[in-house]
Amino acid sequence: MAFLRTEKLTKKFDGLCAVDHVTFEVPRGIILGLIGPNGSGKTTLFNLITGFSEITEGQVYFEDRPIGGLPAHTIAEMGIARTFQLVRVFQSMTVMENMMLGYKGHVGEAPWKAIGRGRRYAEQDAKALAKAYELLEVVGLAPVANERAENLPYAEQKMVEIARSMMGDPGLLMLDEPASGIAPTLVDGLLGYIRLLRERRGKTIVVIEHDMRVIMNLCDRIVALDHGTKICEGSPAEVSKDPSVIEAYLGGS
């Protein structure tokens, strides 16, 4: 049984077909890489799966339930977390406030409970805080927990974004170019963290990445897109030898 599955997923912008009948599966517990040249539809595919963009045709199944057409927050609530290509950490808030915001189902999200503050409010606050510190410890950001996110270097903001997405205990993590904009020396730490999430926490991860070295290192399986269609799928070794992939990347007639 596939954890996540798309079926003939299609997105048309006016005449342009950004994603064209893409069907693929993500088995539970793997790291799947999504590759393709610029404009091949990777981010659009992410947006369709996570509900940030409306599906023109086709369907997405998460744990065999159709989720196409549901609002983004509902899909996130069901257990699909995502990060963005350009970091989306809340700049005016501290690292810890960002983390606490990632906690799911706190009673204090309702204004009357935020005013009332019963016993459950305090319990959930403590739980969220403990969890946030635990996650920050792993990425080494606990010392800057009370620092505003805007004062952090870009690479650390990206780490916060990934750690924050873990606050909701998602089953599936979708990372849109986690290594972009990060100094090469820091990339290894990031990859280590992503691997850790899979190995120790059993997360299933889909990652978009440009850097072939990163992809080859990290992924169990790869799906390659070009011009919105799936051109190839397989293990890193298979995909890197595939003529259509080589052509898509290097060009050709």
Residues at the contact surface with another protein, assessed by CB under 8 A: 50-52, 71-74, 76-77, 81-84, 88-94, 96-97, 100-104, 106-111, 113-115, 117, 126, 129-130, 133-134, 137-138, 142, 145-146, 148, 164-165, 167-168, 196-197, 200-201
Question: Which H, E and C letters describe 144-204, residue by residue?
Answer: HCCCEHHHCCHHHHHHHHHHHHHCCCCCEEEEECCCCCCCHHHHHHHHHHHHHHHHHHCCE
* Pick 63 or 97: Cβ nearer another protein: 97
Task: Write down the least CB distance from residue 245 to another protein, Å.
Answer: 30
Task: Write down the least CB distance from residue 240 to another protein, Å.
Answer: 30
* Pick 124 or 180: Cβ nearer another protein: 124
The rounded Cα 199 to chain-centroid distance in angstroms is 17
* Pick 142 or 216: Cβ nearer another protein: 142
Task: Write down the least CB distance from residue 53 to another protein, Å.
Answer: 11
User: Phi, psi (5° rounding) for residue 40?
Assistant: -85, -5
Residue 47 has a CB neighbour count (10 Å cut-off) of 21
* Pick 96 or 239: Cβ nearer another protein: 96
* 164-168-173-179 Cα dihedral, nearest 10 degrees: 0
Task: Write down the least CB distance from residue 107 to another protein, Å.
Answer: 8
* Pick 36 or 51: Cβ nearer another protein: 51
* Pick 130 or 183: Cβ nearer another protein: 130
* Pick 21 or 113: Cβ nearer another protein: 113
Beta strands in the chain (DSSP E): 2-13, 16-27, 31-35, 57-62, 65-66, 80-82, 172-176, 204-208, 221-226, 229-234
Count of helices and strands (H, E) across the chain: 10, 10
CA 71 – CA 51 distance, rounded (Å): 6
Instruction: Specify whether the CB–CB gap between 146 and 96 falls below 8 A.
Output: yes
Task: Write down the least CB distance from residue 100 to another protein, Å.
Answer: 6
Burial environment of residue 149 by CB neighbours within 10 A (0 to 12, 13 to 18, 19 or more): buried
Task: Write down the least CB distance from residue 103 to another protein, Å.
Answer: 7
Task: Write down the least CB distance from residue 241 to another protein, Å.
Answer: 34
